[in-house]
Amino acid sequence: MATRLLTYISIVVLSLSAMTASAAQDSELEAALLKTVFIYNFAKFTRWPENQSKTTQDSLALCSIGDDNITDNLPKLAGRVLRGKPIKSVKISKESELGECHVLYIAESTQNRIQEILQPIKMRPILTISEMQQFSQNGGMIELTQDQEKLRFIINLNTTRSSGLRLSSQLLDLAIIIDDEAQQ
């Protein structure tokens, strides 16, 4: 019996090892896709204030600014329904277009003008997300980060609070929380 087990195991291991085919490029794209779905989930657990203008009521605008492989993937979410509204994917080129956004993903490529992007929308109900280091401490709301090989996210409660957004406790439970108010 034990030899039979060994035979099975060796067949499986040998056959499977014959199939080694890995693609580093592929796994990087997969990571981008995973982060995209994180952004989708952030939106899922966020409540926007009721009194918004007509244009923002009909759809949920997922905006992005800058370029990286997440901004390439965000349009794949377009058309899916979140909180009863279809997702609209918007690539922002001018800061003045930010008004319609529910969610704003900010690519690392915009690092040198980050304050110009964040300042004008500071008190508005736009959920800002980025992978930039220290994003959550420099006026951003959700910073995507990594712990070993798993994705984690840091939420700055102070900025989300003052924007009028309400994040679900389910989201906060899973987040690393920064609360400036508490430290003062």
Cα separation, 82 vs 37, whole angstroms: 12
The site for other proteins, by CB under 8 A, has a size of 61
7 binds other proteins (CB under 8 A): yes
C-beta of 2: minimal distance to other proteins in Å? 7
Judged by CB under 8 A, does residue 96 bind other proteins?
no
Task: Answer yes or no whether residue 24 interacts with other proteins by CB under 8 A.
Answer: yes
C-alpha count within 13 angstroms, C-beta hemisphere, residue 44: 11
Residue 179 CA to residue 123 CA, distance in Å, equals 16
Which of 57, 58, 83, 115 lies at the binding interface for other proteins (CB under 8 A)?
83
- Examine residue 51 and tell whether it contacts other proteins (CB under 8 A): no
Q: How far is CA 98 from CA 30, 124, 154, 183, in A?
A: 28, 10, 23, 31
**Considering only 7-15, 57-65, 96-104, 109-117, which stretch makes contact with other proteins by CB under 8 A?**
7-15
Dig out the tokens for 130 from the structure: 């980025």
**Residue 42 DSSP one-character state:** H
Residue in the block written with tokens 């085919």: 21
Q: Are the C-beta atoms of 36 and 76 separated by less than 8 Å?
A: yes
Q: Is 143 helix (H, G, I), strand (E, B) or coil?
A: strand
Report 109-168 residues binding other proteins (CB under 8 A): 133, 145-152, 157, 168
- Based on the shown chain and the rule CB under 8 A, indicate whether residue 78 belongs to the binding site for other proteins: no
| Listed ranges 14-22, 57-65, 90-98, 114-122: which one lies at the site for other proteins (CB under 8 A) | 14-22
Going by the DSSP 8-state scheme, the letter that residue 23 receives in this structure is: -
- Dihedral sign for Cα atoms in the order 92, 115, 138, 148: positive
Among 49, 78, 80, 113, binds other proteins (CB under 8 A): 80
Interaction site with other proteins (CB under 8 A): 1-2, 4-5, 7-9, 11-13, 15-24, 26-31, 33-34, 36-38, 40-41, 45, 47, 76, 80-81, 83-84, 133, 145-152, 157, 168-174, 177, 179, 181-182
